[in-house]
Amino acid sequence: MPAFDVSAIRAQFPALRREQDGTPVVFLDGPGGTQVPERVIDAVTGYYRAMNANSGGSFVTSRATDAMAGAAHAAVATLLGAADPGEVKFGYNMTTLTFHVSRSIAASFAAGDEIVVTTLDHEANVSPWRAVAADRGLVVRTVDIHPEDGTLDLDSLDAALGPRTRLVAFGYASNALGTINPVGEIVRRAHAAGALTFVDAVHYAPHGSIDVRALDTDFLVCSVYKWFGPHLGALYGKAAVLDRLPAYKVRPAHDRYETGTPSFEAFAGTLAAVEYLRDLGRKYGDGADGAGTGEVRGELVAAMRAIAGYERSIGRRMLDGLAAIPGIHVWGIADPARIDERTPTFAVTLDGISPADAAAELGRAGIFTWDGDFYARGLIERLGTYEHGGVLRLGLVHYSTAAEVDRTLEALAHLAAGAPLGSRPIAR
Ligand SMILES: Cc1ncc(COP(=O)(O)O)c(C=O)c1O
């Protein structure tokens, strides 16, 4: 397998050339949204130049728009392992898609039916279910975590499942702690209880390969702006389930779930983002995974496995480094031997400095991180850190480098020792 050439990859992302006070910045904000390669920018602006039109017209720009939109749905279907492009629905973002489809999903639920959510999840996979439950008199049950390592408590899942469970909504991976859930196993238990499954893959999607058919989930959602594309949400729904649900749509619309005129320019950028990943699979993927076959799904799987392998190496480096700094606490899975069970998204707290102050200090030093709860409110409350400003989140993606990890660790060591970074770049 060819070596993962992170310099060549970074050269494709114009934003990564940014400097602050004469020093390159470090983007550790990926879980909040990633940077995009040049080809995505070109595709978005190129759409306005070459084919800007509404759908369904008998003229060349409209036909080109429809062809491109079809290709974008097919590309995302292939990325997610779906059989049919019609099983992919685009929307403004994951939150809006989830609020929208939750209304269709719950339309057949009766008062007293139950929905299961989890403490580990982003609120976008909790609040819509609570809202629809309030509308229809449903009961919401919440699966707990093991607070010591931030994994989902599967005994608590079993206790939450019952004869009236109609839906289990859970995440593929935690956007705060990085924990990867045993998705296939949770789907299996939910289906055994007769429930539908709704998987939030927003955090996981940039870090690994997804196969909705192997998982057998009924729904899965992700956000293209978290995997190197434009601001757009994507929903996968099993055709058989989508077809039987009532859809909230205007009468003449031909699609039952995509409402109104979409952001076609974002569709064009999405297609380019999938092509970027495929290219990465061709260049750095393993032949055994499908690289070099010319087959799109295989090359995308190879890309995501190559990304996961590279991220494991820089993720381990981060965990080893964090363990060596006195005064830092890592929330979630901290054992480098368990790197396969997490994404390279690290939640930390530092003695003597709040997450907000640490993020501000790091930001002044050109290291971009997030602090707070990242809308994983229930989790941060459960961990007892909410009153203390939540956690500081360090998010690596495949364009992050070992040198950036080292520079971040050095800055954190300063902060944990009580030394402010000020506006000075950290000397290397
Ligand atoms: C795990 C997870 N779920 C859902 C969302 C919400 O996604 P969107 O911004 O597309 O609504 C986010 C955004 O940060 C997230 O990280």
Over the stretch 184-238, which tens digit does the pLDDT of each residue have? 999 999 999 999 999 999 999 999 999 999 999 999 999 999 999 999 999 999 9
Task: Evaluate whether residue 284 is within a structural domain.
Answer: no
* Beta carbons within 10 angstroms of residue 135's beta carbon: 11
- Examine the domain organization and report whether 93 and 232 are in the same domain: yes
- Examine the domain organization and report whether 310 and 212 are in the same domain: no
278-336 per-position pLDDT tens digit = 999 999 999 988 888 889 999 999 999 999 999 999 999 999 999 999 999 999 999 99
| Mean predicted confidence (pLDDT) in 13-34 | 98
Output the CA 124–ligand 1 centroid distance in Å: 6
- Confidence check: pLDDT of 273 > 80: yes
Angle value at C-alpha 411, between 407 and 414, nearest 5 degrees: 145
Place of tokens 């079993």: 158
CATH code of the domain covering residue 89: 3.40.640.10
356-367 per-position pLDDT tens digit = 999 999 999 999
- Examine the domain organization and report whether 23 and 70 are in the same domain: no
- Examine the domain organization and report whether 318 and 243 are in the same domain: no
Residue 422's pLDDT is what?
61
Task: Evaluate whether residue 405 is within a structural domain.
Answer: yes
Which residue range is the domain that position 114 belongs to? 40-273
Q: Is the CB of 233 under 6 A from ligand 1?
A: yes
Domain closes at, from 255, 273, 291: 273
CATH code of the domain covering residue 322: 3.90.1150.10
- Examine the domain organization and report whether 23 and 148 are in the same domain: no
Residue 74's pLDDT is what?
98
Per the structure, the count of domains in the chain is 2
State whether residue 322 is helix, strand or coil. helix
State whether residue 357 is helix, strand or coil. helix
Q: Name the residue of 96, 122, 126, 370 to mutate for ligand 1: max ligand atoms within 8 A of Cβ.
A: 122
Output the CA 171–ligand 1 centroid distance in Å: 10
pLDDT category at 420 given cuts 50, 70, 90 is confident
- Locate 29 and state its tokens: 């904000």
Output the CA 200–ligand 1 centroid distance in Å: 8
Angle value at C-alpha 35, between 32 and 41, nearest 5 degrees: 130
Task: Evaluate whether residue 285 is within a structural domain.
Answer: no
Instruction: Using the atom order of ligand 1, give the atom closest to the CA of residue 98.
Output: 11
- Confidence check: pLDDT of 125 > 60: yes
Task: Evaluate whether residue 209 is within a structural domain.
Answer: yes
> Which residue would you say has higher pLDDT here, 173 or 289?
173
Residue 252's pLDDT is what?
85
Q: Is the CB of 202 under 6 A from ligand 1?
A: yes
- Examine the domain organization and report whether 223 and 323 are in the same domain: no
Residue 349's pLDDT is what?
98
376-409 per-position pLDDT tens digit = 999 999 999 999 999 999 999 999 999 999 999 9
pTM of the model: 0.97
Distance between CA atoms of residues 382 and 272, nearest Å: 39
Distance between CA atoms of residues 324 and 413, nearest Å: 9
Output the CA 210–ligand 1 centroid distance in Å: 17
Residue 427's pLDDT is what?
37
Distance between CA atoms of residues 191 and 68, nearest Å: 36
Output the CA 97–ligand 1 centroid distance in Å: 11
- Examine the domain organization and report whether 57 and 22 are in the same domain: no
pLDDT category at 425 given cuts 50, 70, 90 is very low
- Examine the domain organization and report whether 251 and 361 are in the same domain: no
Domain closes at, from 273, 295, 317: 273
Diameter of the chain measured on Cα atoms: 67
State whether residue 386 is helix, strand or coil. helix
Residue 289's pLDDT is what?
87
* Beta carbons within 10 angstroms of residue 5's beta carbon: 13
Mean predicted lDDT score pLDDT of the chain: 96
